[in-house]
Structure formats: structure tokens, C-alpha cells
Structure 1
């Protein structure tokens, strides 16, 4: 795999993260389902997961960039596993609406596990890390640059909505209203 194709794959992964963040945000706004604290941690980990691909797009692929994403995916998998285990008892309806039979936190666990496998697989291609000493970092194209800004914008929107939901204190376990809007 060449550096250029690795950057394209990183841009595609950013679009995947943007899709996850947008879907969670859409469920919050359209279905009026406020995310719980564990849900917010999972969203945060998806945003942190995007740091590796953003660095790869900007500075070129490096194993350390992929390692940042691997750590974020592992933490996100731990958070989503915790939430799955909280709602695994028979008779527990789960938290929020199910999508295709699974709750969002179960989809998050699937997403984080998939990210771990894909990140490990992409690390197997050493050629992407070869760099021409005379050349600087690759110039990202419009496709990759748009992916970076889309993830940044969705992350910023999620931060604002979290601030509105939780205010400046701890988030409610089962939120029903935006704290800052109800004052």
C-alpha cells in the first residue's frame, strides 16, 4: 500500500467516524433521546479515534498515529462493553431506541471492535511508512481535507450539545432535558 492509498483509507475512516457521530447526533435531535454519560464517553472515544487518521492525513502515515487510534478504540470498546453489561439482564429494555435490533451502545462496541481489527490490519502494510527524505509531508486533497473538517465540526456540535445537556456539573444518569436550557 502506498502512502497515497493509505491517506485515502484514512480519509474514508474519517467519513466513517463522521457517519457515526452524525447518526448519534441525529438520534439525539430527531428522536429526542438525550445521551447518557456512558453514551457521551463513547461519542468522545469516536472523536478521539479520529485523531490518528487526521494526523495521518496531515503529516503522512505513522505507526504512532495508528497507535493513538488503537488506544481510543480499546477505551471505547471498554466503555461500550460496560454499557452492554449494564443492560444484559433478561427483562431489561436497554437504554434508548434499538436500531436493527441493537441499541446504540451495542453498535458502538461493534464499531470499536471493527476499528481495532482494521487498524491492526492496516499496520501490516509497511510501505505506507516509507518516506522520500527530500519530500515533505503529503498535501492532502479536497476529499481528505473535507473529511477532517467534517469530523471536527461534528465533534464541536457534540461538545456544544453535551454542554447544553449537562451544564457545568455531572451529567444525569437518565437525562430528560437540557440542563442549561431549563434554567
Structure 2
């Protein structure tokens, strides 16, 4: 009696690239939404706990928005019907650089409060202050963006269409940009500089 061995189905050569392309298209969406979630956490502390952000905190928020600009630009490129490898590498590469530069701002604030007797600025979350979490966020963002840029050839989606989900992500990001600009304006008012330890909104008195 012959032994009939059934050959296991092997994925076609095009299956893996298609899966990577889908992952490559999903990644910038998740990145932008992740940064928006971090910014939302900052608003919770600002308005829920009454802790107005200091100038360094505002710079870190700006750094988060700038770091999300690269992936947002990649999503916007889908309106042209295609996202090339060069577009993908440029968007995430720029964000990797921005993330590392923004980490310097967070590191500066960490060093300002690194003394054991210093209570730090704002309420701690799981034992760490927000500027420490921002430093961690920027390092993770730089690693993700650097990895995405490194594997841009495998991850670049190629021919795509700008879906409703893509437009929604860009709209959410635009709302957070506008909200942070409005927040900064109400806190600073018509003064040249933000106070070192803000205790209110100078636009209103």
C-alpha cells in the first residue's frame, strides 16, 4: 500500500508582501492615533486635574505633534493613489529624527527634577511624571519610525486609496493640533512667554 503524503500548502510568494503592505498602511494610522492618545492624556491632566502645562510641557506636546507629522503625511499621500517606498522612508525617517530631538526636551525636564528631594512637576502616573513618560514615548516613537524607515521597501503599501478611515485619522489629528494651539493661546494670552509654573489662563485675566 503506497504512502500518500499530502503536501502542505505553502503561502504564495505574493501573500507575504501583500500582508506586509497592509501592515505598512496600518502602521502610520496607529502611530498618529497613538500620539493623539498621549496628547489626550495631557488634556486629562490639564483640565481634569487642573495642572496647566509649563513651557517645557508645551514644547513636548509640540514635539509629539511634529513626530506624528511624518506618518500623517504618509496617510495624506494616499490621496494620490499610491504611497511609494521613498514617501514611506521619508515620512518615518523625518519622524524618527523629530522624536529623538523631542526626547532632548523631555530629558532636560527630567534632569531639572532628578534630585531625590525634588517632588517634580505635576502629578505622577504610576510613579513617573508626565515628562518622564514623554521621554519614554519619544524613544519608542523613534525606534518604531526608524524601523519602519529601515524596512520601507517591504512595508510601503504601493497602490492605495484614501479611505474614510484615513480621512478620519487625519481629521482627528487636525483637531488635536487645533486644540493644543488654542490651549497654548489661552494659557499664554497676549504675553510673550509662558510663566515658569503656570497657575491659570492669562487670556482670561
TM-score, normalised with respect to structure 2: 0.81
Residue of structure 2 aligned with 1:17, choices 21, 26, 35: 35
Residue of structure 1 aligned with 2:61, choices 33, 43, 46: 43
Give the superposition deviation at 1:34: 0.4
Cα distance in 2 for partners of 1:123, 1:51 equals: 14
Question: What residue number does 2:4 align with?
Answer: none
Name the SS of the counterpart of 2:51 in structure 1: coil
* 8 Å CA contact 2:189, 2:202 repeated in 1: yes
Question: What residue number does 1:105 align with?
Answer: 131
Cα distance in 2 for partners of 1:16, 1:148 equals: 13
Give the superposition deviation at 1:127: 2.2
The answer on 1:74 being equivalent to 2:100 is yes
Consecutive unaligned residues of structure 2, counting only runs of 5 or more, are 1-16, 78-82
Residue of structure 2 aligned with 1:155, choices 157, 170, 177: 177
Consecutive unaligned residues of structure 1, counting only runs of 5 or more, are none
Bigger relative contact order, structure 1 or 2 (CA pairs below 8 A, ≥6 apart): 1
Deviating above 4 A after TM superposition, structure 1's stretches of 4 or more consecutive aligned residues are none
Cα distance in 2 for partners of 1:52, 1:152 equals: 14
Residue of structure 2 aligned with 1:127, choices 154, 162, 168: 154
TM-score, normalised with respect to structure 1: 0.91
The answer on 1:179 being equivalent to 2:205 is no
Superposed CA deviations along residues 107-149 of structure 1, whole A, max 9, x for unmatched, are 0000000011111222232223474xxx5xx323222322221
Give the superposition deviation at 1:7: 1.7
Deviates more, 1:83-92 or 1:140-149: 140-149
